[in-house]
């Protein structure tokens, strides 16, 4: 009995070693949009194309200082999704681990500096086990260098990372996304302004913020307010009333007009 379990142990260690050495540079990170794969990069390819950084951080998951070899997250994203990845209209990003574990973070977090994809523990090349399940964090482990960029502050620190999946705005908020409109139009410019500046407080068709009124349901705002008043009001509501709605005097009238064009478009879209 003793002997056979010992033998089994050695055998599995041997297997692991084989798998590890074969897999080390063929370890793969998959990138997708809404679950559809758009790219897959092996460690070998990433090492060839990207700069490796040696980073020294306090790792809040190990609760100690660690030294890693890693790629800058922005470099990895640009290689995977293309150079303009930062202007992607994504709301969230999903991290899927080898064992199927998933975590979701706001996409905006990834735009910050300080994120790294670790591919090797510099002091322990076969990795140090992590978490209460004592898992092997490889092949990829995401970390942050800023001392406020911790898991407690909702920064993603997924280990055993296998898939990065971006959740697209248009699928999450279909009522806000202007369908069939080119990205070069005023309507689209208005949509982007609305998404960045207004949607945290206002909804269209009940998708979005709840602090202010819904601007499209049951009636579109332009059906009962004149555009002339609205462009003044949106830019400077404090001129009209004591209100919770903040002034937007940093926006030009041209920008406000594009928001109104967008709102009008969505009003017609809702009727189609
Ligand atoms: C911090 C929250 C907040 C933000 C951000 C905000 N609003 Fe408002 N908004 C409100 C609230 C609350 C009201 C309702 C009370 C009021 O009208 O004073 C309102 C009212 C409105 C109205 C209705 C006015 C009326 O009398 O019917 C319009 C139109 C409007 N907002 C457009 C916008 C647009 C466009 C943006 C983005 C540029 C925006 N709001 C940003 C909170 C906000």
Could you write out the DSSP letters of every residue in the chain? -HHHHHHHHHHHHHHHHHHHHHHTTT-EEEEEETTEEEEEEEHHHHHHHS--EEEEEEETTTTEEEEEEEEEHHHHHHHHH-GGGGG--EEEEEEEETTS-EEEEEHHHHHSTTEEEEEEESS-TT---BTTTTB---S-EEEE-STT--GGGT----SSEEEEEEEEHHHH-TTTS-TT--TTSHHHHHHHHIIIIITTT-EETTEE-SSS--SSSSS-GGGTS-HHHHHHHHH-GGGT---SSPP-TTS-HHHHHHHHHHHHHHHHHHH-
With a 6 A CB cut-off, is 77 part of the ligand 1 pocket? no
With a 6 A CB cut-off, is 225 part of the ligand 1 pocket? yes
Average pLDDT score, the chain: 91
pLDDT of residue 1: 47
For the segment 107-139, what is each residue's pLDDT rounded down to a tens digit? 999 999 999 999 999 999 999 999 888 999 999
Best probe residue, ligand 1, of 213, 230, 231, 251 (max atoms within 8 Å of C-beta): 213
How far is 153 from 205, CA to CA, in rounded Å?
32
For the segment 175-189, what is each residue's pLDDT rounded down to a tens digit? 999 999 999 999 999
Query: What percent of the chain has pLDDT above 70?
Result: 90
User: Is pLDDT larger for residue 9 or for residue 86?
Assistant: 86
Can you list the domains of the chain with their CATH numbers? 27-169 (3.90.420.10), 173-271 (1.10.760.10)
4 pLDDT exceeds 90?
A: no
pLDDT of residue 3: 59
Ligand 1, residue 211: give the atom nearest the CA.
Answer: 12
With a 6 A CB cut-off, is 20 part of the ligand 1 pocket? no
Q: Is the dihedral of CA 104, 110, 111, 114 positive or negative?
A: positive
With a 6 A CB cut-off, is 221 part of the ligand 1 pocket? yes
pTM for this entry: 0.77
Q: What is the CA radius of gyration of the chain?
A: 24
Best probe residue, ligand 1, of 196, 201, 252 (max atoms within 8 Å of C-beta): 201
Best probe residue, ligand 1, of 245, 253, 263, 264 (max atoms within 8 Å of C-beta): 245
């Amino acid at each position: 009995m003793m002997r056979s379990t010992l033998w089994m142990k050695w055998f599995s260690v041997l297997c692991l070693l084989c798998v590890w050495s074969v897999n080390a540079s063929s370890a793969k990170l998959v990138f997708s949009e809404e679950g559809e794969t758009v790219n897959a990069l092996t460690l070998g390819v990433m090492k060839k194309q990207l700069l490796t950084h040696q980073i020294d951080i306090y790792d809040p998951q190990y609760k100690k200082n660690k030294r890693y070899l890693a790629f800058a997250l922005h470099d990895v994203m640009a290689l995977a999704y293309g150079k303009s990845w930062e202007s992607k209209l994504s709301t969230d990003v999903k991290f899927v681990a080898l064992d199927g574990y998933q975590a979701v973070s706001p996409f905006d977090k990834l735009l910050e500096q300080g994120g790294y994809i670790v591919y090797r523990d510099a002091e322990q090349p076969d990795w140090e086990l992590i978490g209460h399940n004592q898992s092997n964090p490889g092949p990829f482990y995401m970390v942050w260098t800023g001392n406020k960029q911790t898991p407690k502050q909702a920064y993603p620190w997924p280990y055993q990372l296998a898939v990065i999946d971006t959740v697209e705005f248009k699928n999450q908020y279909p009522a806000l996304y202007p369908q069939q409109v080119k990205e070069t139009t005023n309507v689209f410019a208005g949509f982007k302004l609305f998404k960045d500046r207004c949607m945290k407080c206002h909804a269209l068709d009940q998708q979005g913020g709840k602090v202010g009124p819904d601007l499209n349901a049951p009636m579109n705002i332009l059906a009962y307010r004149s555009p002339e008043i609205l462009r003044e009001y949106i830019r400077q509501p404090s001129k009209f009333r004591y209100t919770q709605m903040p002034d937007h005097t940093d926006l030009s009238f041209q920008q406000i007009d594009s928001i109104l064009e967008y709102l009008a478009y969505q009003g017609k879209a809702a009727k189609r």
